[in-house]
Every structure is written in C-alpha cells, then in structure tokens.
Amino acid sequence: MASILIIDDETNLVRSLSFALEDEGHTVRGAGTAAEGIAAVAESVPDLILLDLKLPDMSGLDVLEKLAAQKCDAQVIMISAHGDTRAAVKAVKLGAADYITKPFDLDDLSLTIRATLERRHMALELEFHRDATLRNSGLIGDSPAMRELAATIDRVAASAATRILVLGESGTGKALVARAIHAASPRASGPFIEINCASLPEQLIEAELFGAEKGAYTGAHQRRIGLVSLADKGTLFLDEIGELPLPLQAKLLHFLENGQYRAIGSGRAQSADVRVVAATNRDLGAAVREGAFREDLYFRLNVIQLNIPALRDRAADVPVLIDHFARVFARGEGTASIRLSEEARAALLRYRWPGNVRELKNLIERLTILHSGAEVPASALPPELLGTAVVTMPAAPAVAPASIGDALASTERDMMLAALREAGGHKGHAAERLGISRHAFKRRLQRLGID
C-alpha cells in the first residue's frame, strides 16, 4: 500500500478521505494549507498527493511548481471544482498525474488512485531494470577505452547489421555487451535468447538451436522448439562460439546465409529474422588455421567486430568498479558497504586482474560477506593480490613455436594438464578450475590430443 498526503483546507473532507483510504491499507496524512503540505513533503516524500486547486495561502498550481522545483517524485492528483476543469487540465500539463472534480464518488477516487499508483510502480520498475542493466553490465567506467566501447555499441546497435562478433578475455563481460547491443537496438522489444555453445553435449546443441521433431532421436519424447525460432525478430547470442562442433558450424553457416533452417527430423524449411551476436575468448583466426573452425563461418560472423578491453588496460576504472560492487553487494546483504584500507586499495590497484571484471566482482562479493560494513585490511586479501603467491613459470621450450597459433596451443595444453593434475585427474573438477564446462573441457582435450 502507499503513503498519501492530502492537501486541502476542508477539514471534514480530509477526515472522511483519510478514513476511507486507511481502510484500504494506505497511510494517510493531512495538511490544511499549502505551506503545511510543502513542509510535510520536505519531511517525508509520500507516494501520492491529493492536492486541492484552491488553498487559503496559495494556488494548487503554485504548489505543483514548488514541488517540481524540489524534484519531488510523488504522483499528484488535483482536486478541483466543476468550474476549475480548465485549470486542472493545466495542472496535468505541469506534471500532475490526473485530476478529479468535486463532488466526487469515493469509488471513482479509489480507482483513480489505484491506476496512478500502478503507473508509478511500473515506471519505477522500468527505471530499476534500466539501472540494473547498467549496474550489472560490466561497462561501468569512464576510461577512454570504455567511452569508445560505449559509443561503438550505440552505433552497432542502431545499425542494420545482423552479424556481430564480440571478442574479449574471459570475465570482460561479453554476454553483457551483447545484451547492451540488444537493449539499444530497434529489436529491443523482441526476445533476447542466449546459448552457451560449450555448455551442452554435442548431440544436443543442434536440437537446442534449431529444434527437433518428436521421435527425431533417442529421448525426443516431444517436439522441441529451437532457440533460433524463439529469437525471431530479436537477438540470438551465441556465447563461446569457438566451441561449436564442426558439423554444426556448417548448419549455422547455412542459416546465417539465407535465414533458413530445419529442425531435426523435419523436412520442412523454416525461417527466422534474427540478429546474431557471437562471442569468444579464443583466437578464431588460429582456430581456422588449425582446422577447428570453418573459415567461411568466421568471415560470415565477423561482419562487425567489437573488442572488449581487459581490465588491466583500463586500470583507471578499477576504483569505480570497487566502490560500485561494494554498494551493490551491501544492498544485497542488507548491510553497510565495506571500506578498503589504504593498503588493501593500493594492492587492488596494482593487481593485473587476469580474471577481469568477473574476478573483481567475485572478490568484492566475498569481502562483503566476510567483512560486512567493516574496514577490510590488506591481510584479508588473497595472497595473489598481495604479490605473495608462489607462481611457477613453465620452462621455455627447447624449440621456439613456429607461429603464435602453435604458442597458444602449447600454452592451452599446459593449462589443461596443470588443471588435471590439480584436480587429481577428475575432468569435471579440472573444468571448474578453468571456468569452462565439462563438455568444453573434453572437446579441448580431444583437439589437443590429450588422452
């Protein structure tokens, strides 16, 4: 229910309205003059104000202007006499949500109040979701790199391009950039459908993307609608596109070229109008040279390319992100924000953030849970942030790699083997250590020839 302020010099009317509205669960206050009403708003802003057009000390229109000057966000319903309808309409133009004329029916007033409050709730909810998108987007920051990225997103979103490739290290916010593109595009009213190409077994990805008829494969007990169909008139986000199996790459290429596809087990071609945003942290050029990714699909996806800067390349944004996440997680925990000691903050500013914004976000969440509302000393930080972690660098290869692709493959192989050793040979645990799915981990093992 809502808090309501009635500004009217008719004492009996204020009393009867207060009784009626309190019976509906609202909290009601009354003010007999404009000055009393303005003072009441300054003390505590209500959700809604019932404002009489004629008051003993000033006009209701003057009150409305003063409330606007105070940036009061309460909804205002004007109360006017029959002959004041024109003035009431003027009040609506000045920002009043609605008006009602005397004498009025209490049921009519109740309906007007309910409708006004519902509109206010919807507006606040929309504003919240817009703010939440910005808060959680990972695009927070005012560094030149982020300003350039934001401007590029705006241009790309407004364009007619339907094939966009987002590149960036793990944790930089590729999925959130894809959402920002969708939200700023003419397709924003359409669906945003996301699939992680490494999260599903190879035999299920095709059904997930393009759908399947009942009985098309073992376990297909009913017809499945594919994500491509669900994304019609909207955006389809293909995360970790570099992990898409080669057989399915050909089918995706066919869809990208003519907008048509077939569900598994169906002989009927279907079409969908979809903007495809693909993302990867892999070097797709190297994957093409290695034969792990189709060259024609790479060029088809890479119509427009967005590169998300690593956090170490926009270090000026680290303090802003620290304070931002501290506030966000404090609200979630219902506590005051943590405060970093000078030594702790200096350590975070020196750190290179290999896990990027995700790593920083996870750290601040952990510190908020463990040190809610308190000052966090440097000793509470993980050893690697203080430069005290023991790091063993792999020995230089006896023979230099022939290309950067070979070097990357060698590094990836070392990381995979190290994760397996640390996990005692358990593939699922090793995948968790690397931040990828078990299926993606197994595919990489196969591609690298690791038994």
The answer to whether 164 and 303 have CB atoms below 8 angstroms apart is yes
Angle, nearest 10°, between helix axes 438-448 and 427-434?
100
pLDDT (average), residues 232-246: 93
Structure tokens at 130: 């817009």
For 188-230, write each residue's pLDDT tens digit: 999 999 999 888 777 788 888 998 888 777 777 777 888 999 9
Helices (H), 77-143: 85-93, 106-135
Annotate 150-201 with three-state secondary structure: HHHHHHHHHCCCCEEEEECCCCCCHHHHHHHHHHCCCCCCCCEEEEECCCCC
Find all residues with CB under 8 Å of 245, minimum gap 6, and list them: 202, 205, 443
For the ranges 65-74, 187-196, 421-430, the maximum mean pLDDT occurs at 187-196
Strand partners, 49: 5, 76
- Span of 121-135, 231-245, 259-273, 329-343 with lowest mean pLDDT: 121-135
Specify the pLDDT at position 410: 67
Domains and their CATH numbers in the chain: 3-131 (3.40.50.2300), 144-307 (3.40.50.300), 311-386 (1.10.8.60), 404-448 (1.10.10)
Mean pLDDT of 247-268: 90
Res. 265 pLDDT band, cuts 50 70 90: confident
For 91-128, write each residue's pLDDT tens digit: 888 888 888 888 888 888 999 998 888 887 777 655 54
Q: 197: which 2 tokens?
A: 């190409």
Going by the DSSP 8-state scheme, the letter that residue 27 receives in this structure is: E
Question: Whole-model pTM above 0.75?
Answer: no
Beta carbons of 278 and 297 less than 8 angstroms apart: no
- Report the pLDDT value the prediction gives residue 31, as an integer from 0 to 100: 94
Extended strands (E) in 25-104: 27-31, 48-52, 75-80, 98-101
pLDDT band at 408 (very low <50, low <70, confident <90, very high): low
Q: Which residues pair with 78 in a beta bridge?
A: 51, 99
